[in-house]
Amino acid sequence: MLAIFRDQNKINYQLQIEGAAATAQSQIGLIPKNAGREIDRAARSGKITVNRVKQLEAKSDHDTAALVEALSEKCKPQARPWIHYGLTSNDLVDTSNSMQMKDALAIIQPKVGKLAVILSSKATKYKDVPAVGRTHGQHASIISFGLKFANWASEMAKHLERIEEIKKRVLICKTLGVVGTGSLMGSGALEVQKRVAKRLGLFPAEVTTQIIPRERYAEYVFQLALLGSTLEKIAIEIRNLQRTEIGEVSEHFKKGQMGSSAVPVKRNPTKSERITSLSKLLRSQVQISFENIPHWHERDLSNSANERFILPMCSILLDEMLETMISVIENLQININKITQNLYVTKGQIFAEFLLKELVKKGIPRFKAYRDVQRVAFEAHEKDIEYIDAVRADPAVSSHLTEKEIKTIFTPENHLGASQTIINNVARTVQKMYKKFI
């Protein structure tokens, strides 16, 4: 990922644009054919270095002018007048940005797909394991432990769709000159742009000023930040489940690893914490990308400097986060015994929802049944006794239920609802999206 945004690679992208534009212009008669071939040859020669461009830029104080001059040095004299014909700096800058984003997404998308598959596999593996579902940090009801992974896998599949969808809006080729009219190329301007876009694997701009509308860049940054926020959501759950008091999962702890410089026994969820930390930085770039959308007239430079940071930074940050999360999930340790133990931390009060349901089915008015279930639960908590024993001992509740019905209510495997079906559906969706986009 880092290589995509290195200076030499940026220059190589822009040289490809120069070569493609000259070729397209020569094909439709805007410039001599031999000039088009010569410019394209020189642009692809690999002899134009970042060092030379920077030497020239030190004199001109203009990066694009320096690149054009460096290209001119490698061309035969008869081709030099036609270099950069009809183009402006941002034809190179913006189109090369699109090429970088295209290559960045080509790295990101398969990793999203890989993570979706890993999460889906975990969901299937643990779909029959009853676990505590928590809301407001409190035990709420019983879920399938695999449902946690299915939720995340489904979002990764949606991100695959989102990435694919934004490409046609974000990966834009623009070669329309100083104010977006293609003035020097006249009626041939759109044909040149179409041909350049096809050669570079981009989408031709429909309309621009001197620059591609920055709504496109904002969407790219937003999508990466959205994906990063999903990764943070997963990371936070892992961090919470690894709390000493919960202990249902833990990050892999390799031999020789140290969790704390002071406390030898600690195993800290440092990788998940890293994802949380980077996600904050990634999200902060969204505001900047939105502030870059307004410009004076056909353009100004108020976006230019910060875009040299935010586009590479967002891509590199998300790539690191994906790499880290894939490693965390692949090696995540699941403590089934602790998951089961936690179901009974409240001494069976997690089954209250299902007790209420059975009383309602027996014809007890819901409000009365609710109050009885709640009263017995609070009394059991005060006396520190098992909820099932309190239910058996309370005539207002137990008189409506048989012992077999009570045991059925207090069996966690009976309360997974549609979890298995949901997980199976997610698994099919993930496989479908993976095959479609990866």
CA separation (Å) from 293 to 191, 194, 251, 297? 27, 25, 41, 12
Q: In one letter, which amino acid is 426? A: V
d(CA 16, CA 23): 10
Distance CA 377, CA 372 (A): 8
CA distance linking residue 93 with residue 81, whole number of Å: 21
Residue 194's closest CA among 179, 180, 205, 182?
Answer: 205
Judged by DSSP in three states, 39 sits in helix
**Which class for 221: exposed (0-12), middle (13-18), buried (19 or more C-beta within 10 A)?**
buried
What is the spatial distance between Cα 296 and Cα 292, in angstroms, rounded to a whole number? 11
Point out the catalytic residue in the list 60, 183, 260, 302.
260
Q: Which parts of 28-88 fold into alpha helices (H)? A: 33-43, 50-60, 63-73
* Residue position matching structure tokens 């054009």: 68
**Terminal CA-CA length for the chain:** 18
- Rounded-to-integer distance, Cα 232 and Cα 226, Å: 10
User: Residue 8 and residue 16: Cα distance in Å, rounded?
Assistant: 12
In this structure, the chain runs to a length of 438
Q: Which of 136, 261, 297, 399 is catalytic?
A: 136
User: Pick from 43, 64, 41: which is nearest to 53 by CA?
Assistant: 64
Burial of 259 (0-12, 13-18, 19+ CB in 10 A): middle
List the beta bridge partners of residue 172.
203
Q: Which amino acid is present at 217? A: Y
Catalytic residue flag (residue 159) = no
Asked about 284 being catalytic, the answer comes back as no
Q: Tokens for 424?
A: 């199976």
Round to whole Å and give the CA distance between 210 and 4.
24
Output b/e per residue, 128-147; b: 16+ Cβ within 10 A: ebbbbebeeeebeebbbbbb
Which positions ≥6 away from 365 have C-beta within 8 Å?
none
**Catalytic residue annotation:** 136, 260
